[in-house]
Amino acid sequence: MRATQQDFENAINQVKLLKKDPGNELKLKLYALYKQATEGPCHVPKPSVFDLTNKAKWEAWNALGSLPKEVARQNYVDMVSSLEAPSESFGHEKPADSHRPGYETLLVTSEDGITKIMLNRPTKKNAINTQMYHEIMLALEASGKDDSVFTVVTGNGDYYSSGNDLSNFTDSPTDGVEEKAKSSAVLLRNFVGHFIDFPKPLIAVVNGPAVGISVTLLGLFDVVYASDRATFHTPFSHLGQCPEGCSSYLFPKIMGPAKAAEMLVFGKKLTAGEACGQGLVTEVFPDSTFQREVWTRLKAYSKLPPNAMRISKQIIRNREKEKLHAVNAEECNALQERWLSEECLNAILNFFSKKAKL
């Protein structure tokens, strides 16, 4: 039975009452279907390349072509109905009361001498949004000063992290596009700086696929353990961007210039085994026993003298700190320019428009 105008209006009201943000991809689809159902095919002028939000909306609407209004109305109603499904269908996110006070995107715990920082946006593949950037920095500052022996970073759910949440690029900047790019570069530089300066051993427990900055940061960790189903992908060129996290300096040192270029310039995705063979990952474990084996080992390491481990890390890392901060600044400056380039903006908008197509 085809959706009536009343069904359509009810669906519009339901969207306003949604308790969970459906995400930018679905919001773009809903916007496009709404415009198609009420106004028909897109005939308005294409927004400026620097107007990211409106251009993404225009691309989504325009992609519907000559889809009839009644079909768009039906698709809109069907999509809203799917969003009303029980919360279990959105993933296995832990209830809010399991969060330590002060964190909304992380689960931070301390036990057996280990502080664990768990990225906790499983329904978003642990994509790092602006709030998570700030919360990770706060968690690193706190764990660097607490009584734990070392700190572990891992992900909740199937992904370690899908990298930078691209919705960060579609937020409407209040101070203009150039100011947004500048403030984002400052945030990134400060964020990476927290990893460069972290005083204790820092261990990554890569439980699933890792993308973008969640990969490039691994060069700043002291040990990286990975499940055999983890993958490592840095699609910077695909998005018109360039490397960050000091990877432009550390990855060639770790895996050699040719292998680093294949990954950072051409976006080759590595398996866990390949990443281990090239020195980015310390050891790979079968996924079926990954958590048990890794945490058994980490608990044994937590019994080692903490001051000795801290001093050993300082001896290994200190001579590189000045260089790493310089590389971090250079990468962030380059990224600030990239974010303002038409090439980068078009690449990001193409990414969103492809996702918005039905």
Considering the domain architecture, whether residues 270 and 158 belong to the same structural domain is answered as: yes
- What gap in Å lies between CA 72 and CA 70, rounded to an integer? 5
pLDDT confidence of residue 91:
34
Considering the domain architecture, whether residues 211 and 114 belong to the same structural domain is answered as: yes
Which of 73, 90, 107 finishes a domain?
Answer: 90
Positions of the chain with pLDDT lower than 70, given as ranges: 1, 19, 48-52, 84-101, 168-175, 352-358
Residue in this structure with the two tokens 């840095």, named with its chain if needed: 234
Exposed/middle/buried for 19, CB within 10 Å: 0-12, 13-18, 19+? exposed
* Beta-strand relationship, 231-233 and 270-271: antiparallel
Question: Looking at the domain assignment, is residue 358 inside a domain?
Answer: no
Residue whose C-alpha is closest to residue 144's, from 202, 91, 188? 202
Question: Looking at the domain assignment, is residue 353 inside a domain?
Answer: no
Asked if residues 118 and 160 have their Cβ atoms less than 8 Å apart, the reply is no
Asked if residues 215 and 234 have their Cβ atoms less than 8 Å apart, the reply is yes
Which two three-digit tokens encode residue 119? 């990225």
Domain with residue 39: its CATH number is 1.20.80.10
- What gap in Å lies between CA 222 and CA 211, rounded to an integer? 19
Q: Give residue 51's domain range.
A: 5-90
Which of 90, 116, 141 finishes a domain?
Answer: 90
Domain with residue 113: its CATH number is 3.90.226.10
Considering the domain architecture, whether residues 83 and 231 belong to the same structural domain is answered as: no
pLDDT confidence of residue 89:
32
Which two three-digit tokens encode residue 178? 């150039």
Considering the domain architecture, whether residues 133 and 10 belong to the same structural domain is answered as: no
